[in-house]
Amino acid sequence: MGDRTLAVVLASGGLDSCVAAAWAAHRWRLAMLHADYGQRTEAKERECFDRQVAHFQPEAHLVVELPHLAQVGGSSLTDERMEIPEDDAPGQVPTTYVPFRNATLLAVAAAWAEVLGAGHVVIGAVEPDAPGYPDCRPAFFEAAGRLIDLGTRPETHIRIETPVIALSKAEVVQMGADLAAPLALTWSCYRREDVPCGICASCLRRAEAFRDAGARDPLTA
């Protein structure tokens, strides 16, 4: 049957997934999942994940290693020979796209959710914030949900939740403020782990979002 009151939250340590976790925490009990796939800023992301775990106090938390994503390559997030872009070229898939990453993350989350008996998998994907990312589209998550239904036990019922998928980055910041999400415990920079570089595409989107939301970013205030 599954437990509809338990949700597995994919928590990268970033802003979007933190707000998604806060949204889920108002509805269900939490289990939090983090993936180390060889991303450049994994040490900082893991630190933020650990601090978010301390904040949300989930019933379970898990860190998985997915080294094959870096071994496969093809992304500037995992291959330091590739340049991190300072903007997103319209109509093109950015080099920060990690090939089929969200499918891999959902597969792990669904497997853990089935073991836990959880009824939900929550992911903080934001389509407007990921221009050109094919695995951040609502249609992708709808298809992934059907795949999970087909690939799990008959009694397993897991729903993929994408609470921020249609929001602008500024709306994500506002939602986080409304939910008292710990935005100070998040990281967005693609390049550095000490202080935000302020010039990569992710830093620029974050700065613009806080500005448009009329809020101060706790990381740069």
Which domains occur in the chain, in start order? Answer: 3-212 (3.40.50.620)
pLDDT reported for residue 113:
98
The tokens describing 145, both together, are 């949900």
Q: CB–CB of 112/122 below 8 Å? A: no
pLDDT reported for residue 98:
96
Cα separation, 194 vs 133, whole angstroms: 27
Q: Residue 195: which of 83, 81, 56, 44 has the closest Cα?
A: 44
The tokens describing 108, both together, are 């792990």
What are the φ/ψ torsions at residue 18 (nearest 5 degrees)?
A: -65, -45
pTM for the full predicted model: 0.96
- The conformation of residue 106, written as its DSSP 8-state character, comes to H
> What is the chain's pLDDT, residue by residue, as a tens digit (221 residues)?
567 899 999 999 999 999 999 999 999 999 999 999 999 999 999 999 999 999 999 999 999 999 999 999 999 999 999 999 887 666 789 999 999 999 999 999 999 999 999 999 999 999 987 668 999 999 999 999 999 999 999 999 999 999 999 999 999 999 999 999 999 999 999 999 999 999 999 999 999 999 999 999 999 97
**What SS3 state is found at 62?**
strand
Cα separation, 189 vs 22, whole angstroms: 21
